Structure 1
Amino acid sequence: MEKLQFYDVAMRPPANKNNTAVNPWKTRLALNFKQTPYKTTWVQLPDIPDVRKSLSIPACRKFADGTDFHTLPILVDPATGRKLGDSFDIAVYLQKQYPTSGGNLFPAQTLDYVFKPESELLIPLSECDDSEYPQYASFNVNVDAAFTAHVILMAHRMPFDPATEEASKAEFVRRAGVSSWDDFAVGGEVRENIIASFERMLGGLAKLFTASEGPFIGETACYADFIVGAWLVMASRTLPEGEWEAVKGWHGGVFGRLFDALAVYAGDE
């Protein structure tokens, strides 16, 4: 089988030790779970729009002002010629195209988790309309919304590549509509309040995991676990160590056990 081509976001070298982008992590976990051979192409943040355009893959999301949001992952399958530029679409493709390889990404199960953000999110989320796996698609949107509402806790410690750090920070500032990168730094009582909100939010999500014997939502790992796991990887690499250890221990250690259990699917190709 010719290797799939997987495009991930390059951060501080070594890239495979500092990659933090959530949606590419969903795809990496799914690729490893499906046991589909692949090769990673690391793309610098400022180069993502040009890479998507060079592959004739349009932006899959837009900002509130209507401008394109060019992001990764991208997956190219040389065996079929398919090019996909959305993490959920990639997971669906892997399950349909390689159904007998690895495990089942979308086993039937109830994923009744809903999160309603109190304010507009800065980053547009994937759509969940017309999906073949509507429960998983809705779960993806709600989990992304829940973590994105608290991502300010992680943003300021993103491990940017020094070669493109200033350009990358400038793009994040532009997207958020803030005046400078330092606006992403939160501390003191403000940070404590956001952490408390983060813990409460994860309490609702933890109920899905504690309904089974764990560490997964169901009996075995599935794409829903990878959706949450991808955010945990980002948290593990961007939160201060003490805060990450606290997250791992919240709600009886549910998310610490999930993070540890998914390590088997977290390797590079």
Structure 2
Amino acid sequence: MATNADITFYDIASAPPLKTFAPNPWKTRLALNFKGIPYQTKWVQVLDIAALRKGLGIPANRTLPDGTPMHTLPMIEDASTGKIVGDSFEIALYLDDAYPDSPKLLRQHTAGLTAAFNAHMDEVFTKHLGLCTRASFDPATVEEVMATFAKRFGVKSLADMQLSDEQREAMFVSFEVALGELSKAYHHTGGTADRVWRTTGTAKEQSQQPPPNRQNACVFLDGDEPAYADFIVGAWLKHFEGGMDPKDWERVCSWQDGRWGKLGTVLNRWSEMK
């Protein structure tokens, strides 16, 4: 295993005090802490990410709506192997391969399934980012950063994306439906027959109840220990917790018998900033 913090973890700098706030860096921080691999964090301002990746010879890992490259974090640099990895999912695969004696992130023969789950969760949560109204960026550069993100979303200004009260409430209903579907995975049950009528409201009597043999489902997807899929969900939950108004986050934590607040609390064990 790495010693003396051979791994440098490049994370996005927040407003003081420095902390992880974006979902993909959260995936990597949870993974590193879970595996117990010594690392040090190097905080990078949003406006410096492209220059950093280019300087290290790491290509952009996303593309803007107009087709131009988009450079993002996380990224890790492992001095013990000379490897630089610049994508959260690829980082998880690398850590399991390079440090086989530490706890496994992905269980045997699940890389493809986990990759699909990762893409689906990114889509589900990104669809509801309008519920996050609190910015975590450094105040010194926030205006330039917001302009950069407006470009990413293909709009002139982020103000163009602000929701009306009616739109916001509709997004809350949609988000509860989406997390309700996700909760079925945690209860090891399927079925989508309730999708149509579920979206018409959020009354308690409309909430699907898990079958009797799954009432005691674990806080994690499979078993008493987390897998990388749990960190994918947890990373997004932590992003929403930090970006939502506290009252709105409390609302989310009340859904599905408090499942999402409980998961976030359990994952605090691997949330240390190093």
Q: How far off is 1:187 after superposition?
A: 3.7
Q: Could you tell me whether the CA contact under 8 Å between 2:65 and 2:154 is conserved in 1?
A: no
Are 1:227 and 2:204 counterparts?
no
CA distance in 1 between partners of 2:64 and 2:273 (Å): 31
CA distance in 1 between partners of 2:176 and 2:134 (Å): 20
CA distance in 2 between partners of 1:145 and 1:177 (Å): 17
Structure 2 residue aligned with 1:205: 182
CA distance in 2 between partners of 1:265 and 1:183 (Å): 37
Structure 1 residue aligned with 2:79: 78
Structure 2 residue aligned with 1:167: 144
251, 256, 269: which one aligns with 1:251: 256
Structure 1 residue aligned with 2:197: none
1:126-172 C-alpha deviation (Å, 9 max, x unpaired): xxxxxx71000000000000001111211x42222111111101101
Structure 2 residue aligned with 1:184: 161
Q: How far off is 1:237 after superposition?
A: 0.6
TM-score normalised per structure 2: 0.85
Structure 1 residue aligned with 2:111: 133
TM-score normalised per structure 1: 0.87
216, 220, 225: which one aligns with 1:216: 220
SS of aligned partner of 1:6: strand
Question: Which one-letter code corresponds to 1:26 in the other structure?
Answer: K
Q: How far off is 1:178 after superposition?
A: 2.0
Q: CA RMSD in A?
A: 1.4
CA distance in 2 between partners of 1:187 and 1:199 (Å): 18
CA distance in 2 between partners of 1:99 and 1:139 (Å): 23
Q: Could you tell me whether the CA contact under 8 Å between 1:2 and 1:78 is conserved in 2?
A: no
1:44-86 C-alpha deviation (Å, 9 max, x unpaired): 1111100111111111222243211100001000000000000
Uncovered stretches (5+) of structure 1, i.e. residues with no partner: 110-131
Structure 2 residue aligned with 1:118: none
Structure 2 residue aligned with 1:157: 134
246, 261, 264: which one aligns with 2:269: 264
Q: How far off is 1:108 after superposition?
A: 4.7
State the identity as a percent: 44
CA distance in 1 between partners of 2:64 and 2:45 (Å): 21
Are 1:34 and 2:8 counterparts?
no
SS of aligned partner of 1:15: coil
Structure 2 residue aligned with 1:120: none
CA distance in 2 between partners of 1:188 and 1:152 (Å): 12
Q: How far off is 1:186 after superposition?
A: 2.0
Q: Could you tell me whether the CA contact under 8 Å between 1:20 and 1:233 is conserved in 2?
A: yes
CA distance in 1 between partners of 2:155 and 2:116 (Å): 30
Q: How far off is 1:173 after superposition?
A: 1.2
